[in-house]
């Protein structure tokens, strides 16, 4: 920057640039440098915490694999068998809840899969909780329920006068019906989830033979993971969540966040925890935390896959990530004191829930990704006095990235693309996390994740001859474009004046932001 201060003052535009450079030099040393060093220190500290958490989870998973620990060996489990004397009465009553909202493309999948479960028909109640606002869709769902009812399936079509509480409100209202009192367990499936016929036969025995178990959670499997590059990126992130994070929680403290679907609850556990609450957008995690504080244990079955659909449009994915990032942060704000004062669980369990589950994974993991890699590191190209150690710049992120990739070995060749895309999404996750922590803005906004089902197979080919008009504004995303422009400027400056070769990363990251900003990511469904 010495070149700026030594440049002679020239009239006009050159003189203004020189004066701006002199002001920068006067402000940089006393203000910018100390602030940027503090930011680097905080980001490095958060990176270390995240690194330790990833290594800890990897160590637990390695131990689980080496010791061959499985839920079937850790807990009592016996297959369901027919009783000649008692008949179907040997099976407990199970309620299946399928909440849905304008699910035109997928409602038949979940209803059909639920009606195909291997369980005595007189011991199973299927409850379709339809909050749809489109009368045509409501009629289609109702007709589908009637069709299955005519086949002897005990299926109930339930609606409400309002959408108060969204999904939590629907589930809560569904539990108030008189026939639910006869049920011992409730399985929940979102509208795009398709459980295999043996789902209940594999989960219910854990609840029957282990009275301390309140929840048995299955793993999501994705039918459209190969639809586009964005769905492959999502598969990598979610496979790590299930194969590592959920498995670690289940194996160590018998606690993890309920995923909101593909799980079976003991109704007594729901009632003791206080039932469904709609104070955040993560009603599933809220219930899981409250139930765990009452002493209930959870089991995760990694080998019990349930087919589901990933959001394939960027708009749907962005709304989903906002809800998944804002909700946990807001729940942490509302429950941290309650968790710390709880006396039914051990100190280590409370530390795990507060520090590992909430603080590191739901807050630090989002914030450090965007602040460090998209703001602080680019800013240091203008302030060479602030140096970032190689261990924090390369080594720790590389190890964290490699550990994240173990959940989806088939996508190892996409690791670089995944890192760049995750950095882009960290922009929205950080914004949502801060909104949740501060209880601001769209903290309680609930936008149902759009499902396409077979729409791409059945509709797009028929419209090939006539291309619908595409409005540019529908595809542009300003925040990504502004961030991409900032990174591109930093990359150009570093290319000309820098010595650390940050521009190699900055150019790639800025291009990724531009690609997303101009709407060239995911499946695009133009409005005809």
Domain ranges of the chain: 87-312
Q: Are 477 and 519 in contact (CB under 8 A)?
A: yes
Among residues 131, 196, 239, 278, which one is catalytic? 131
pLDDT of residue 30: 84
Q: Are 313 and 521 in contact (CB under 8 A)?
A: no
Report d(CA 154, CA 127) in Å as an integer: 9
Report d(CA 207, CA 224) in Å as an integer: 32
Mark whether 439 is an active-site residue: no
Report d(CA 128, CA 244) in Å as an integer: 32
Per DSSP, helices labelled H in 459-502 are 472-475, 478-497
- How does 349-368 read in b/e, with b if 16+ C-beta sit within 10 Å? bbebbbebbbbbbbbbbbbb
Report d(CA 221, CA 225) in Å as an integer: 9
CA 339 to chain centre: 22
18 vs 515 pLDDT, higher one = 515
pTM of the full structure: 0.90
Rounded mean pLDDT, 469-498: 88
Contacts of 460 (CB under 8 A, 6+ apart): none
Contacts of 140 (CB under 8 A, 6+ apart): 104, 107
Report d(CA 348, CA 285) in Å as an integer: 19
Q: DSSP secondary-structure letter at 9?
A: P
Per-residue model confidence as pLDDT tens digits over 369-421: 999 999 999 999 999 999 999 999 999 999 999 999 888 899 999 999 999 99
Question: Could you give the percent of the chain with pLDDT greater than 70?
Answer: 91
Whether residue 168 is predicted with pLDDT greater than 90 in this model: the reply is yes
Q: Following DSSP, what letter does each residue of 21-73 receive, concatenated? A: HHHHHHHIIIIIHHHHHHHHHHHHHHHHHHHHHHHHHHHHHHHHHHHT--HHH
User: Hey, what CATH class is 87-312 in?
Assistant: alpha beta
pLDDT band at 16 (very low <50, low <70, confident <90, very high): low
pLDDT band at 21 (very low <50, low <70, confident <90, very high): confident
Out of 2-11, 100-109, 143-152, 487-496, least confident range: 2-11
Contacts of 263 (CB under 8 A, 6+ apart): 187, 188, 215, 216, 217, 218
| Cβ-based burial of 277 (10 A; exposed 0-12, middle 13-18, buried ≥19) | middle
Whether residue 343 is predicted with pLDDT greater than 50 in this model: the reply is yes
Per-residue model confidence as pLDDT tens digits over 482-493: 999 999 999 999
Q: Following DSSP, what letter does each residue of 251-317 receive, concatenated? A: HHTS-----SSSEEEEHHHHHHHT----SSS-HHHHHHHHHHHTT-EEEEEEEEEEEE----BHHHH
Torsions phi, psi for 323 (to 5 deg): -65, -40
Angle at 453 between CA 450 and CA 455, to 5 degrees: 100
Mark whether 131 is an active-site residue: yes
Report d(CA 387, CA 151) in Å as an integer: 71
pLDDT of residue 469: 55
Residue whose structure tokens are 């509302």: 334
Q: Are 115 and 187 in contact (CB under 8 A)?
A: no
Q: Following DSSP, what letter does each residue of 156-170 receive, concatenated? A: EEEE-SS-TTHHHHH
Q: What are the CA-CA distances from residue 382 to residues 28, 202, 205, 298 (Å)?
A: 10, 59, 62, 50
Torsions phi, psi for 429 (to 5 deg): -65, -40
Per-residue model confidence as pLDDT tens digits over 425-465: 999 999 999 999 999 877 777 777 777 765 555 544 444 44
Torsions phi, psi for 344 (to 5 deg): -85, -20
pLDDT of residue 527: 54
Among residues 239, 278, 284, 286, which one is catalytic? 284
Per-residue model confidence as pLDDT tens digits over 42-72: 999 999 999 999 999 999 999 999 998 899 9
| Structure-token pair, residue 162 | 């309002």
Count helices and strands (H / E) in the chain: 23, 7
Rounded mean pLDDT, 352-358: 96
Structural element, H or E, at residue 214: strand 213-222
Report d(CA 236, CA 411) in Å as an integer: 7
Whether residue 202 is predicted with pLDDT greater than 70 in this model: the reply is yes
Residue whose structure tokens are 């409100």: 169
Region of residue 87 (left: phi > 0; alpha: psi -120 to 50; beta: else): left
Whether residue 9 is predicted with pLDDT greater than 60 in this model: the reply is no
Out of 206-220, 281-295, 451-465, least confident range: 451-465
């Amino acid at each position: 920057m010495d070149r700026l201060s030594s440049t002679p003052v020239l009239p006009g535009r050159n003189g203004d640039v020189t004066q701006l450079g002199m002001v920068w030099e006067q402000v940089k040393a006393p203000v910018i440098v100390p602030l940027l060093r503090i930011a680097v220190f905080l980001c490095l500290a958060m990176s270390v915490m995240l690194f330790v958490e990833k290594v800890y989870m990897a160590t637990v998973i390695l131990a689980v694999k080496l010791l061959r620990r499985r839920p079937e060996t850790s807990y009592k489990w016996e297959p369901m068998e027919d009783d000649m004397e008692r008949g179907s009465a040997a099976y407990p009553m199970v309620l299946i809840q399928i909440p849905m909202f304008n699910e035109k493309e997928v409602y038949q999948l979940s209803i059909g899969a639920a009606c195909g479960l291997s369980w005595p028909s007189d011991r199973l109640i299927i409850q379709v909780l339809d909050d749809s606002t489109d009368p045509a869709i409501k009629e289609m769902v109702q007709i589908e329920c009637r069709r299955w009812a005519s086949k002897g399936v005990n299926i109930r079509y339930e609606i409400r006068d309002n959408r108060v509480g969204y999904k939590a409100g629907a589930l809560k209202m569904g539990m108030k019906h008189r026939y639910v009192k006869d049920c011992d367990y409730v399985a929940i499936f979102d509208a795009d989830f398709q459980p295999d016929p043996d789902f209940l036969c594999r989960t219910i025995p854990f609840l029957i033979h282990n009275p301390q178990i309140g929840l048995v959670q299955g793993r999501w499997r994705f039918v459209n993971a190969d639809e586009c590059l964005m769905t492959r990126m999502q598969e990598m992130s979610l496979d790590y969540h299930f194969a590592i994070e959920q498995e670690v929680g289940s194996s160590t403290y018998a606690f993890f966040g309920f995923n909101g679907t593909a799980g079976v609850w003991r109704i007594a556990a729901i009632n003791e925890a206080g039932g469904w609450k709609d104070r955040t957008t993560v009603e599933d995690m809220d219930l899981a935390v409250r139930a765990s504080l009452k002493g209930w244990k959870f089991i995760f079955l990694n080998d019990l896959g349930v087919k589901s659909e990933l959001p394939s449009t960027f708009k749907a994915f962005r709304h989903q990530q906002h809800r998944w990032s804002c909700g946990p942060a807001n729940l942490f704000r509302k429950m941290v004191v309650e968790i710390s004062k709880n006396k039914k669980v051990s100190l280590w369990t409370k530390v795990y829930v507060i520090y590992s589950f909430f603080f590191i994974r739901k807050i630090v993991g989002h914030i450090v990704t965007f602040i460090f890699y998209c703001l602080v590191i680019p800013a240091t190209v203008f302030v060479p006095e602030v140096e970032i150690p190689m261990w924090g710049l390369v080594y720790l992120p590389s190890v964290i990235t490699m550990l994240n990739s173990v959940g989806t070995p088939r996508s190892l060749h996409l690791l670089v693309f995944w890192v760049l895309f995750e950095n882009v999404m960290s922009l929205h996750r950080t914004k949502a996390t801060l909104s949740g922590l501060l209880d601001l803005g769209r903290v309680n906004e609930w936008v149902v994740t759009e499902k396409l089902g077979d729409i791409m197979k059945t509709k797009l080919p028929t419209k090939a001859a006539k291309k619908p008009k595409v409005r540019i504004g529908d595809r542009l995303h300003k925040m990504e474009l502004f961030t991409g422009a900032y990174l591109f400027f930093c990359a150009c400056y570093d290319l000309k004046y820098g010595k650390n070769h940050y521009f190699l990363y900055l150019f790639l990251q800025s291009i990724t932001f531009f690609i997303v900003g101009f709407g060239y990511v995911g499946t695009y469904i133009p409005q005809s």
